[in-house]
Each structure stands twice: as C-alpha cells, then as structure tokens.
Amino acid sequence: MAVEFRNVQKVSRFLDPRQDFAETKTASEIRFDPLTGRTGRVAHFALPPLTPPDLEEMARLSLERGCPFCPDLLEKVTPMFPSDLIPEGRLHRGEATVIPNLSPYDEHSALTVMSRQHLVRLPDFTLALLTDAFSLSLEYFHRVYQGPPSFPLINWNYFPPSGGSQLHPHLQLFATDTPGNLLLAEIQASERYYREEGRNFWEELVVAEKAEGKRYLGQTGEVSWMVSYVPIGILGDVVAVFPQRSTLAELTPGDLEAFSDGLTRVFRYFHDQGMYSFNLAFYPGRPGEADRFWVHARTVPRFSVQPVLHASDVNTLQYLYDEPVTMIWPEAMAAGLKPYFA
Ligand SMILES: [Zn+2]
C-alpha cells in the first residue's frame, strides 16, 4: 500500500449561546499517520491570538542570577571533557562551543552553546550561527563516540514554553542506543514498509506530498520541507527530510547549510505569526540503511494557551493518552509558510 493520507471526519452538534442557542455543527478530524498509523486530532480550533511576551524583559530577568553560557562565565562555570575524550576540554567553531552536560541524559551527553549573545531572537539566527552549531555538534559525536552503532540525537528547546530553562540558545546532544519511543516506532515502521513495499517510505512521502501539494513547502539544497499530515504540536509541525542520508554522520556541510537556510525561513514565519518558542529534534536511523530510512528533523512551535495563567499547550490528551491534537489545519499552516520558501 502506497503512502496514504487517511482521516475520519467528525461533526459535533450543540445549541450555541453565541448564536442565540441555534443548533450549530463543528467539524473536526481524526488523522492516521501514513507511516506509523498513530492517530492525531485536528480539532478544537479555539486558539487565542498569539502575543509573544516582552522578550527583552525576559532576557533581563534571566540574567539577574547570571547566565552560565554567556562569554564572561562560560569558561569559569561550565564543565570540560576529560582529556581522553577531548584533549582540548571544549570544542569551538565560530560562536559555538560544545561542553559536557552537567545533568547528562546518557553516557555521552553534551550541550552546544550556539551564540555569544544571550538573547537571539528568531529572525536574528544567521546561516553561519546555525550551521556552525549543527556542524560542531556532529564533530562532537565523531570525536567522542567510537562504539557500536548508536543514535546521535540533537535537539533544541528554545524559550520556556518548550521546556527550555536557559534563554541563551543551546542544543542538547546525546549518543544513545535507546533513541526514544517515537524514533524507534518510525524506524520499525519504515523497515516494515520497506519489507512489504520494497521501497523507501521517506522517498515516497516526499513524492506524495509534492504531488498533493497541500503541505509541501519546497526545497533548500537537497532538503525537502513540509508540514506534517498528523502534527505533534498544537500549532502544527514543520518537517525537513534529508534524502539518501540514514545517519547524522552522512550529513554533508552542504546539507547542514541547506537545513539552516530552511530553518531561518521557518523562524521568520514563526516570528511573523507571534510564535517565539519551539522544540526541534533530529531523527536519525541506522548506518547503511538509506534504502529504507532517511534522516529528518521536526520543528514544533510551542506557546502558552493562556499566557496570564501560564497555561501549557500540553494537556491530558497529549500527555496521558499520547494523542496529539492540532488546533489549526496543517494545510492552512503550510499555505502561510509556503511564501517563505519561494
Ligand atoms: Zn547568556
């Protein structure tokens, strides 16, 4: 069975106080992920206007107790790698620095401090800043991890709604043989697809999204960009697919620059929409399996659904039922994003 965008329509009826209690119908949709079959809902739609907080004021407050990633403290208060792992103690490229994570998630766990500036607003991330940070992160994995095949994971929590506790831009890195439930499910489903169809799901997904044209955004270099058919985030997800690459080690400098280029476009869209926080994750496969799995990255805007009360955009449905809900149509998000890829 080829890539299929399957959904079930639902209609809810009620007497609407906003229309003098006339009966009204509201549509929602349950969607099935074309790879894993996992369900998600496009529903609710009662989004408040997105109003970002005063970022300068947040930056000022966050500096009151000092920031370990700012240049005046970084060398003094952040850890260094043991000399048998990285003799020079920390890695540097451009403005980026890789340091061990004081609170490791796994044996090899590090942070990439991306900039010298404490506050970098979304439109101010340059191609050089992003490319240096991602390529130095890959160098870290290359330098420290010489063991059996594992999954080098790069992820980014930007601003507090995403779970990021330091405003200073930094990536989380760790190499692990336990890559998390979603990535494992994607790898297993891609293997099943390859076994049953004899083809690469990711290649077919790009072709299908291009053909349907509703969520496909365009290409930067060889990297293809699209909005997820079944997003994880309330505001939708942006997915970048790296053709013919099954591991992060296979990404070329050109791939990283192309990805960073696309990301600056996504960031400009987020900023223009009033979005100021996101999660980003890379999803790598196993070495030598580009015939069945392609590296991809997912960027999910995060926000507070009620900023005055600090209400989270993750509720019981997502957290305890593991059921994503998206409050805008992914196709509408794609229509808004597409001009940024022109
Ligand atoms: Zn700082």
Ligand 1 centroid vs 240 CA: distance in angstroms?
29
The region, left, alpha or beta by phi > 0 then psi within -120 to 50, assigned to residue 310 is left
Ligand 1: distance of its center to the CA of 199 in Å?
46
pLDDT value at 215 more than 80: yes
Distance 68 CA to ligand 1 centre (A): 6
Dist. CA 258–CA 263, nearest whole Å: 9
Q: In the chain, pLDDT over 90 holds for what percent of residues? A: 92
CA–centroid distance, 77 to ligand 1, in Å, is 12
DSSP-derived letter for residue 215 is: S
User: What's the 97 CA to ligand 1 centre distance in angstroms?
Assistant: 13
How remote is the CA of residue 132 from the centroid of ligand 1, in Å? 18
Question: Ligand 1 centroid vs 206 CA: distance in angstroms?
Answer: 39
Give backbone dihedrals phi and psi of 29, rounded to 5 degrees, phi first. -145, 140
Q: What is d(CA 108, CA 147) in angstroms, rounded to the nearest whole number?
A: 11
End-to-end CA distance of the chain: 32
Separation of 42 CA from ligand 1 center, angstroms?
Answer: 38
Fold of the domain spanning 55-341: HIT family, subunit A (3.30.428)
CA 67 to ligand 1 center in whole angstroms: 4
Task: Give distance in angstroms: CA of 116 to centre of ligand 1.
Answer: 7
70 pLDDT above the threshold of 80: yes
Query: From the CA of 256, how far away is ligand 1's center (Å)?
Result: 25
pTM of the predicted model as reported, rounded to 2 decimal places: 0.96
User: Does pLDDT of 197 surpass 90?
Assistant: yes
Ordered alpha helix ranges (H), the chain: 55-62, 71-77, 127-144, 181-197, 201-212, 253-272, 316-319, 330-337
Task: Return the domain boundaries, the chain.
Answer: 6-42, 55-341
- pLDDT tens sequence across 15-36: 999 999 999 999 999 999 999 9
Q: Which amino acid belongs to residue 313? A: D
pLDDT, tens only, 287-328: 999 999 999 999 999 999 888 888 899 999 999 999 999 999
